[in-house]
Amino acid sequence: MPGDLHTHTTFSDGSTPADKLPFLAACAGMTHLAISDHDSIRSVRYAYAHPVQNGVHLIPATELTAYDYERAHRVHLLCYWPDDCAALADFSAMMAERRLTAMLQSCKELEAICPQFRTEEALELAKDSGTLFKAQVMRVLWQYGLADGMYNAVYKSLFGLKPVRGRILHTPRYEPVDTVLDVIKASRAVVVLAHPSVYHSMELARELIAAGRLDGVEIDHPRNTPEDRAELTRLAKENGLIVTGGTDYHGINTVTPRPVGAFTTGDEMIARIGDIAKARKSTYKDKNKEQIKMTYTYNNKGTCSVRTVVELNDDHTIKSVQILGRLRRQPEGHRQAAARHEGRGRHRPHGGHDLWPQAHQLPDQIAQALKGALAEMG
């Protein structure tokens, strides 16, 4: 059965809580669902925490915003199966802060011209997101009859970009496309260019495909034009790209509401996304296996030094041994002990008596620290 791989919740600018979407997907006959909230690691973490809900398999996802400075328009990049890593978390936090700063300025100006509006009400609607979107501001106006819907004439007068800039429009600074693609690469995710027709991104799509920077393109989307669909289908076939589809569900926070499952991705493509993600994570682990190390601290007993810090590699070889704390005396033998252990290969410590005849002195403490490190490392 197919899956809807493009949906939004209250983690960003959607109106439906994340825990409701799997139920909606199940009712629509979906077996897979990607909650892909804007610039949000919250949707990623939700899917990892709830891999199957209401019988629907959740694919960790987010939709990252970039900017094509050459052509002066936004770009959306769907990111599937990213690691919950620092690169993605930092990007998400950065965009949340930038978006909140811009929107609070817009709200301040809106309060000055619309006394019925209160920023606190918009923030309450946005509490699941950790930031603030235009959608929550419009919801406040709409519920009081101060707007003609979500994204109609009032929205354009306040937040429009072209042909006339909105009265209170302030936008966050977006990172260049290459920078955002690097973030996705660092998270070892599968990257798909979202709805190229929406932001007139076909020229960029051709460039990114030629450069080998995309894993796929989103074709089955309500706002892609027939002409762009045809070209994207051809480019995907010629370049062996994944082809995805998604409803871009936002609940009622959209011009034309559509139910979950209205636009979908087939089983074969869902399987390919999973296979690529697994391969990337496996390759990353293999490349970094030798770099994994563990640090163990042992509080010395019966010596003038305070503690011994042992750093081991993943294969149980010694990376380093450090003796910390002030020594009243530093016999040559102590310094030689640390030197002999520094970088030694597969050492299997079994007590200080094999190293030095004097127990409870520094060599014995090094051996005890190594034993503790190996025991903790398993």
- CA angle in degrees (0–180, nearest 5) for 322-326-332: 70
What confidence score (pLDDT) does residue 125 get?
98
What confidence score (pLDDT) does residue 348 get?
43
What does the pLDDT average to over 44-60?
98
Pairing of strands 56-68, 73-80: antiparallel
Give the predicted TM-score (pTM) of the model. Answer: 0.77
- Pairwise CA distance, residues 152 & 142, whole Å: 11
Peptide bond into 349 cis (omega under 30): no
What confidence score (pLDDT) does residue 306 get?
67
From the centroid of its chain, how far is CA 297?
Answer: 33
Average pLDDT, whole number, for the chain?
88
For 120-140, what is each residue's pLDDT tens digit? 999 999 999 999 999 999 999
Q: What are phi and psi of 157, to 5 degrees?
A: -70, -30
The closest alpha carbon to 32, from 63, 62, 6, belongs to: 6
For 292-351, what is each residue's pLDDT tens digit? 456 767 777 766 666 788 777 756 678 788 887 654 444 444 444 444 444 444 444 444
Output the six-digit token pair for 343: 């970088």
Fold of 3-286: TIM Barrel (3.20.20)
pLDDT at 145 over 90: yes
What Cα–Cα distance (Å) separates residue 72 from each residue in 161, 199, 266?
Answer: 12, 10, 33
Instruction: Let me know: does 167 contact 109? Beta carbons within 8 Å.
Output: yes
Q: What are phi and psi of 269, to 5 degrees?
A: -70, -35
Which residue in this structure is represented by tokens 């926070």? 253
Please, where are the H alpha helices in 144-217? 153-159, 177-186, 202-210
Count of CB atoms situated within 10 Å of the CB of 109: 15
What confidence score (pLDDT) does residue 177 get?
98
User: Of 168-172, 246-250, 328-332, which range is least confident?
Assistant: 328-332
Burial of residue 194, with CB atoms counted within 10 A of its CB: 0-12 exposed, 13-18 middle, 19 or more buried = buried
